[in-house]
Structure 1
């Protein structure tokens, strides 16, 4: 009896060894093998966290701040979400509202969704709730009865006769197991001995940005759209491959609806009700997601829910998408690792895009090793390659793909001087402080460069006239200005003809006509100065407004291409989308209508420009690296801390456009937590002189943050250098351990 008691005690102790918070893929596998947990228990524990933490974190902004009636939203993790009745009066957000003479604001209000009139959602202006202990990161959880509106409740029953009122498509849909049933089936088949060589993501609950199609979950890109069937007819390629690798296709994550929608192209549809301030990553169906480190603040878009769901331990990893900064921003604002491989390495087949030439999936996890494990799982199981016939961008040369696993590139624990022999280039053009508010992140990352030296790397730096030279780091002999001078005069000479809003030339060199062949030839041969303001930051931005502007044809085209391929009986083009959709603000309504009527420009200047820029600037980037024997580049991933939801955005963000270089170049990047900011300079609203609008202005005084905000450090390299970046990123991560979970989202009672 004593031996039995000792054995029971040992089992009981073992059962408590597995910890869900901050767990890794490897730890889940170890816990299952040791009998400390089962796959079903892992999924149920994440469901318990979703029930506790995935609620509403925003309030309506109203004219008077009066309370509204209680309202319930869609079902999540077994219960309907509850909306707060308290509201925020607009006078608490903007100054001098009594003198405001503009259009009536798009005040916050509750409204029934079009997809499901029995549930409500917040529309119009919203503001974040301080200390909400909710993040609203997941818009749909793969749980039977709530994973689809088309087949909800009894229409998704696992057995019995399909009720007469249910669509016929539900007969096949309800045969698909949900997340718990999938986990139970894995337990039954593999028990404590899963084949993690065959299934490297065995029992890993993951979220996916809502733009990625899944056959067993609502897939509407976050939109409140009444499709004939709201689940996709087939998985997106990368969802399918992760499913085959043993991952639990667990939830869709809140995003900036339709990848942000690429703004408003202008047209007959006008905004009648202006919306002040930032809404962060927000959907009409799922609502807004909030930063787990400070729930008053935004998460970065457009993959906000992907960042928050990983940061707050609602999932193990998430798949984001980036057209410019849509993985980078939620990665750094939520303190999680972000790995985005070379464009084309991960298929985008079966997803809503914004710009096909730049759109690419990325991976958000809590560690570099987990991100590498997920990346390996994207390989075709038969060929070991990443090619997918659904995505022409995956037709890369085979040499781009490492034959060895990418996990094998991770720096071993305890390695001494693991970066010895590597030369890392510090990109000082991206350390320039355009505004005082840039200091927190830029100075923080600058202070981390010494870690790379301690790890054995040799540092060199580019120069910028707006950045004070660091005497401790040698300068490169050939910089971005010199490289651009060699490639732009032939590949993109039209850039030298850009004019500003005042009609004056944007670039000039004393004594030269920079648009002339004579100058272009001289500059290319380094016999004429290069314009000081035509630098890395500027070329990564867009042309000035005018006949050569980037017009947004890409989003108009790709959205309709997706709808056409999906083949839904009700929604199949822009016109039928708008006829069956509702939008969370009047501005979104107007922009969607204008996209519907966006004419196709046969010149497609926007596509031509982005293609030319990638080719020219990749050449410039790689030449700089080769000529200076640089292996990897490093800089801050962005310079601004997250704004308050409903508050003012930092002005002049276009001046920091260089931080979108990764998506524009299509090169691999790894972003790793690098610290926390303890103070920031908040932007403010200012009423225009004529009282018709509110502008945002930069603040001047730093304020201490009650809740410090995380930021990352960015590493990038030439196409195909994923293994090298993973080595560098994991070495830095092991030396610093900056990742810390948000304090308000700790383990729940009874959580393993």
Structure 2
């Protein structure tokens, strides 16, 4: 794979520490510590240079297992000499070596096998793709009647970034019991963390000059220590006594969703694009701050490329093939990740790899990114805790295109406690959470508490004291609705959790919102002031043009019997709540009401980012398109249409200010409901539909997407147990026979999934109410301890 001779190519994961020692720890530290602004001070407890610290640790003691290890567990292991930081990092590398292989197989014509193929390098060896395939006729029916675009059948293709790397393209399915997850796109291992500077082009500075032909940028790049080298530096300086008050993230391995820049790893938004230098010259601000607090920036996580994809502004380019299937979260460079609880099923996206890596203990914590559901989906499908703060608390700068008001960085961890430690660590001791690179961080000071966020956490000793007594939680019934049989089990499960845990055990008072599609619960009082009341007061005063919207037949979308909703009289009466409002205007649909045409959003943000990155080849979006491959043909068409836009003609976009204005009004409506009803937080199931199979059909909306991103409100997701009940949908041709649609017939039998799959509960509140949410979420977590690791990805035989 490494035509330039990867110096680590012939060493397995467990021998890399030995190799580092052979190179000379003293030489390695002297060469790399200045890059991290750490002085070379040998620790009293450091192992001699000629020995491998991992071989000496724990003699006479139980070995430390990183599986399900918390940040506190890792710190305790280091302080009690049960593990060094190098041991910890090596353990995660070993797990990536064991579990980060390919977990999908291609869907082809008549199960035609493909030739042996090799992918990107993971822990010194290329990924190996399965040659067996699945017959397309076992995935979709009636193909002989299909008259749509040619199917995008599965195949292997050579990447444009590296001719030695191939990747699956087109239709694919998850391999049952694969034992592999493909969660991490790139590991921070010297020689494989960059394509531009791969192999010997990333040799440690202590080994001498770079080989002939090495790009000039590689000399500066190789000064960056990799994950093991950083761990060795920390061990050498601090030994078993790190200053945890100063370095709360000490030796915590972090996986980062690829859109966030890392100055020591490839950053291309998971896309197969041929940058002149595929590693950016800077870190995203939150990554920089985590490094400063002692974190090991361990890997870039697999994700759906460009978060939710580039979209399509319209234009002459159209898709020429049809990718059938739902739930793909894959990219042209890193492929598809799989759910660790059932590798046939989706992990949700777009931050799929971030979720899978933490769930399967391939990293301690992860950074995700959410525009609609991209963090909360992977959290719920992988049994994790998630913190998404008020927009502007966590800096979002240094990301590929994700700089808009609805985008946020999220923190995924196995527990609320760990996620909160990360949140506190992101705070700069001088500037707080403000970041000059991110205008959204210029938020009001009272929105951030003076005390650390960890000070608001509850633990198990608080559970029996009814810690939520005096708090009022509102069940958002709009997302308990059960339009299909598949929604029932998970909706009922969260309803039961709210009543038995939040109310009966923890002492909270429950109220519920009203939805005509959900039966009124006699055990839970209704809101006295409803969302309809708030919308009635706000919409006619500030956005009355919504009532001008019509369907395809010209009928008003929000008609009310006995009223002309476009009339002045109706608007005045509605504003005083003396006229009814359409039941179709719901809190769950507010983001959709802001669906203005937004011609420049994607291209503008990409060009803005690329100007700062300063790559010699990829200078703007048009250059990106010329040097890239896209995950499916519809993405290719959209990307090309973005490149064709005439900036001079399209510079004005009503959507940007229109969406932001409507966002403020929507948040105002939610806050009015909270104040009128004395609500501390809202509660609902993050998801009410079981996970579909990769590339398979899906019926029903899974998440209540867009509410907290659209309103910039904080949310926390917590594991709430498991569900095994499913009604499997199927593909069927549409009436025109031009495409396949997902169908769930009323007589579909109930079955059980192979393994129970995680279910999660979601809490959200007003801006700056993170302390309230942390109290609620941590109390619920302490009372239930629902998190359980995926059984197929347990401890390795030689964990440290």
TM-score w.r.t. length of structure 1: 0.95
What CA deviation, in whole Å up to 9, does each residue of 1:682-720 have, x standing for no partner?
Answer: 222111334322122234422211111112100000000
Superposed CA RMSD in Å reads 1.6
Matched, 1:410 2:461: no
Q: Secondary structure at the match of 1:386?
A: coil
Question: In the alignment, which of 694, 697, 702 is matched to residue 743 of structure 2?
Answer: 697
- Report deviation, 1:112: 1.1
What CA deviation, in whole Å up to 9, does each residue of 1:287-315 have, x standing for no partner?
Answer: 11111111111111110100000111100
- Report deviation, 1:514: 1.2
- Report deviation, 1:587: 2.2
What CA deviation, in whole Å up to 9, does each residue of 1:136-166 have, x standing for no partner?
Answer: 0100000000000000000000021011211
Partners of 1:262 and 1:580 lie apart in 2 by 15
Structure-2 residue corresponding to 1:457 = 508
After TM superposition, list the pairs within 5 Å mapping 1:90-129 onto structure 2. Answer: 90-129=136-175
Question: In the alignment, which of 553, 558, 562 is matched to residue 502 of structure 1?
Answer: 553
Structure-1 residue corresponding to 2:608 = 561
Structure-2 residue corresponding to 1:133 = 179
C-alpha contact (below 8 Å) 1:637/1:659 kept by paired residues: no
Question: In the alignment, which of 109, 119, 135 is matched to residue 89 of structure 1?
Answer: 135
Matched, 1:628 2:677: yes
Structure-1 residue corresponding to 2:567 = 516
Structure-2 residue corresponding to 1:271 = 319
Q: Secondary structure at the match of 1:154?
A: helix
Question: In the alignment, which of 344, 350, 366 is matched to residue 392 of structure 2?
Answer: 344
Matched, 1:662 2:662: no
Structure-2 residue corresponding to 1:749 = 797
Count the aligned residue pairs: 735
Q: Secondary structure at the match of 2:307?
A: helix
Structure-2 residue corresponding to 1:5 = none
Structure-1 residue corresponding to 2:380 = 332
- Report deviation, 1:12: 4.8
Partners of 1:395 and 1:693 lie apart in 2 by 47
Structure-2 residue corresponding to 1:46 = 92
After TM superposition, list the pairs within 5 Å mapping 1:462-477 onto structure 2. Answer: 462-477=513-528
After TM superposition, list the pairs within 5 Å mapping 1:718-729 onto structure 2. Answer: 718-729=766-777
- Report deviation, 1:247: 0.4
1:589 to 1:69, Cα distance in 2 relative to 1, 3 A = same
Q: Secondary structure at the match of 2:126?
A: strand
Structure-1 residue corresponding to 2:300 = 252
Structure-2 residue corresponding to 1:637 = 686
Large movers: runs of 4+ above 4 Å: 10-14
- Report deviation, 1:603: 4.6
What CA deviation, in whole Å up to 9, does each residue of 1:401-445 have, x standing for no partner?
Answer: 111111111103311111111111111122112333222321221
Structure-1 residue corresponding to 2:666 = 617
Question: In the alignment, which of 426, 432, 436 is matched to residue 475 of structure 2?
Answer: 426
Structure-2 residue corresponding to 1:486 = 537
Partners of 1:426 and 1:550 lie apart in 2 by 33
After TM superposition, list the pairs within 5 Å mapping 1:179-328 onto structure 2. Answer: 179-278=227-326, 280-328=328-376
Structure-1 residue corresponding to 2:484 = 435
1:268 to 1:521, Cα distance in 2 relative to 1, 3 A = same
C-alpha contact (below 8 Å) 1:279/1:288 kept by paired residues: no
C-alpha contact (below 8 Å) 2:311/2:639 kept by paired residues: no
Partners of 2:757 and 2:645 lie apart in 1 by 40
C-alpha contact (below 8 Å) 1:363/1:374 kept by paired residues: yes
* Worse overlay, 682-691 or 733-742: 682-691
Partners of 2:784 and 2:59 lie apart in 1 by 31
- Report deviation, 1:350: 0.7
1:269 to 1:721, Cα distance in 2 relative to 1, 3 A = same
C-alpha contact (below 8 Å) 1:671/1:714 kept by paired residues: yes
1:354 to 1:178, Cα distance in 2 relative to 1, 3 A = closer
Structure-2 residue corresponding to 1:4 = none
After TM superposition, list the pairs within 5 Å mapping 1:642-653 onto structure 2. Answer: 642-650=691-699, 653=701
Partners of 1:391 and 1:495 lie apart in 2 by 32
C-alpha contact (below 8 Å) 2:596/2:659 kept by paired residues: no
C-alpha contact (below 8 Å) 1:223/1:257 kept by paired residues: yes
What CA deviation, in whole Å up to 9, does each residue of 1:248-302 have, x standing for no partner?
Answer: 0000001110112253333211111111002521111111111111111111111
- Report deviation, 1:519: 1.1
Partners of 2:283 and 2:151 lie apart in 1 by 40
After TM superposition, list the pairs within 5 Å mapping 1:672-683 onto structure 2. Answer: 672-683=718-729
Question: In the alignment, which of 30, 36, 56 is matched to residue 102 of structure 2?
Answer: 56
Question: In the alignment, which of 614, 623, 626 is matched to residue 579 of structure 1?
Answer: 626
C-alpha contact (below 8 Å) 1:667/1:718 kept by paired residues: yes
Partners of 1:611 and 1:23 lie apart in 2 by 41
Q: Secondary structure at the match of 1:260?
A: coil
What CA deviation, in whole Å up to 9, does each residue of 1:45-77 have, x standing for no partner?
Answer: 000000010010111111121111111111111
Structure-2 residue corresponding to 1:175 = 223
Structure-1 residue corresponding to 2:73 = 27
Partners of 1:575 and 1:44 lie apart in 2 by 41
Partners of 1:491 and 1:361 lie apart in 2 by 31
C-alpha contact (below 8 Å) 2:369/2:409 kept by paired residues: yes
C-alpha contact (below 8 Å) 1:148/1:230 kept by paired residues: yes
After TM superposition, list the pairs within 5 Å mapping 1:704-719 onto structure 2. Answer: 704-719=752-767
C-alpha contact (below 8 Å) 1:236/1:349 kept by paired residues: yes
Q: Secondary structure at the match of 2:443?
A: coil
What CA deviation, in whole Å up to 9, does each residue of 1:639-667 have, x standing for no partner?
Answer: 3222211111325x4xx774320111110
1:639 to 1:127, Cα distance in 2 relative to 1, 3 A = same
Q: Secondary structure at the match of 1:414?
A: helix
1:45 to 1:458, Cα distance in 2 relative to 1, 3 A = same
Structure-1 residue corresponding to 2:448 = 401
Partners of 2:489 and 2:193 lie apart in 1 by 41
1:634 to 1:62, Cα distance in 2 relative to 1, 3 A = same
Partners of 1:174 and 1:602 lie apart in 2 by 41
- Report deviation, 1:15: 3.7
Structure-2 residue corresponding to 1:588 = 635
* Worse overlay, 564-573 or 148-157: 564-573
1:552 to 1:129, Cα distance in 2 relative to 1, 3 A = farther
Partners of 1:245 and 1:355 lie apart in 2 by 24
* Worse overlay, 116-125 or 142-151: 116-125
- Report deviation, 1:595: 2.0
Partners of 1:555 and 1:294 lie apart in 2 by 34
Q: Secondary structure at the match of 1:217?
A: coil
* Worse overlay, 528-537 or 584-593: 584-593
1:603 to 1:639, Cα distance in 2 relative to 1, 3 A = farther
Partners of 1:649 and 1:556 lie apart in 2 by 31
Unaligned runs of 5+ in 1: 1-9
Partners of 1:199 and 1:246 lie apart in 2 by 5
Partners of 1:559 and 1:276 lie apart in 2 by 28
Q: Secondary structure at the match of 1:61?
A: strand
Partners of 1:690 and 1:465 lie apart in 2 by 34
C-alpha contact (below 8 Å) 1:281/1:305 kept by paired residues: no
- Report deviation, 1:503: 2.4
